[in-house]
Amino acid sequence: MARHPNPAALVKLAEGRLSRLRSRQVIRHLIAGCAACDEIVAQASRFDYAGSFSGAWCATEQRDAALAREKAAAPALLQELLGALAATPEAAQALVAGSLRFHAWAFCEHLLDTARELGFQDPGRALELARLGVEVAGRLDGSIYGEQRVRDLGGRAWALLGNAERIQSDFRAAEKSLVCAERLLDKGTGDPIERASYYLAKASLRGNQHRFREAFRLLDRVMTIGRRCDDSHLCGKALITRGFLLGLANDQEAAIRLLSEGIERIVPAEDPRLLVAAHHNLTLYLAESGRFDEAMSHLERTRPLYLALGDHMNLLRLQWLEGKIATSLGDFARAEALLQPVREELAERRLGLDFALLCLDLARIYARQNRSAEMRRMAEEMLVIFRSRDAQREAIAAVLIFQQAAEMERVTLGLVQELSEHLKECRAVPGPRSRGAV
């Protein structure tokens, strides 16, 4: 490290309360020969850390060299695995099971990072990769990497799988995966950052289940870990997640406040996708709370972030959000021009719930302009999309209500709003559910 670590971080290192990544950075600084920092650690621990670290440094360097070789091989291995996955998931699983080349720590991390990156871009592929990540993590050799560290990585893989299942609205599977993650982490190194990642995944699941009190308790734990580890980025992630969930709970003002605070705390270079998601939701909640001019101004300021990320689905969501704001401002021609291309692409991707919600945004325009023919045609398309996939009965029922109202030319803005809220609930909590349940 070029500069001295914070004295509080040195004390936490001595007490074993610093994250693995931060510990490694501080240790490198101490080994470089900083007498002042070594004295702080010695006073806190009454142990000769400098001598101990120097003695272990050769072994550490050897492990680092081996890990560097693994990292260099990981991208090619991933491409090979993706080729097998393009054939069948079973072919990819057989490749992982039958070849020791894939049983490497760096490859496992690369695979999990790729699955996380896909996230909402391609949820189906993200889920397949997360499953393979669990498979790889389960085959790592504890005698090489350390039994407890392997359990940590296994816990991370299961938590990622649970999050991918949550995104796909398979909450029962997500619950089981998170139980597996917790069991492995309980037998791991106790790394607080790994535990915090698990809490974040579980909090998101509890939020989708509308179990907000549990979600917020988990996020409180993440904040505590972030403060203890002197990790501002982790605290920012907790605040942003809380903001997301408050928006889901229809508390837009609180969501706006926490998202803004979280954005200030995160390190953009560490997670540019999180930064875009946070700004996107901040813009959305500004619009939903009636602050349309602020929302449009914020959207324009943050547009370069979307373009820099270059993610097609995020650009599509940006255009959708821009269309929603234009509708609210009464610029119906521009709103329709923005929303129609998004509607066509969502239909092509067979994203039923998103397609239906987008159609209801267009219905707000048609209802104001008495365009009954377009309303009826769109209602028919919504039903075709829903019947072509395994959609929930409650979601199909909502689409049928809209179709019947369109046929009778009785679509009102109030009905559109009610159906839109109902479909959002179907996305958040799949399965039979009474209206207004928490």
Q: State whether 309 and 392 are in the same domain.
A: no
Q: State whether 351 and 421 are in the same domain.
A: yes
Q: Quick check: is 415 in a domain? A: yes
Q: State whether 348 and 435 are in the same domain.
A: yes
Its domain, for residue 313, covers 267-329
Q: Quick check: is 49 in a domain? A: no
Q: Quick check: is 308 in a domain? A: yes
Q: Which amino acid is at 95?
A: L
Q: State whether 296 and 353 are in the same domain.
A: no
Q: State whether 373 and 436 are in the same domain.
A: yes
Distance CA 433, CA 438 (A): 10
Q: State whether 313 and 354 are in the same domain.
A: no
* pTM to 2 decimal places: 0.78
pLDDT along the chain (438 residues), means of 10: 60 59 60 58 52 50 77 94 93 93 95 90 90 96 93 97 90 96 96 95 93 96 94 96 92 96 93 94 93 94 93 92 93 94 86 82 87 83 65 69 77 79 63 30
Q: Quick check: is 26 in a domain? A: no
Terminal-residue alpha carbon distance, the chain? 49
Q: State whether 324 and 346 are in the same domain.
A: no
Q: State whether 423 and 345 are in the same domain.
A: yes
Last residue of a domain, one of 304, 329, 354: 329
Other C-beta atoms lying within 10 Å of the C-beta of residue 387: 11
Q: State whether 347 and 437 are in the same domain.
A: yes
- For the domain that residue 350 is a member of, what is the CATH number? 1.20.120
Q: Quick check: is 334 in a domain? A: no
Q: How many domains does the chain have?
A: 2
Q: What is the pLDDT of residue 336?
A: 94
Last residue of a domain, one of 329, 349, 375: 329
Q: State whether 398 and 352 are in the same domain.
A: yes
Last residue of a domain, one of 283, 301, 329: 329
Q: What is the pLDDT of residue 86?
A: 92
Q: State whether 375 and 302 are in the same domain.
A: no
Q: Within its chain, how far is the Cα of 297 from the centroid?
A: 25
Q: Quick check: is 253 in a domain? A: no
List Cα–Cα distances, 302 to 66, 275, 279, 321, in angstroms.
Answer: 41, 10, 7, 13
Q: Quick check: is 288 in a domain? A: yes
Q: pLDDT (tens digit, 9 = 90+) per residue, 90-125?
A: 999 999 999 999 999 999 999 999 999 888 778 889
Q: Quick check: is 372 in a domain? A: yes
Q: Which amino acid is at 280?
A: H
Q: State whether 324 and 382 are in the same domain.
A: no
Q: What is the pLDDT of residue 297?
A: 94
Q: Within its chain, how far is the Cα of 21 from the centroid?
A: 21
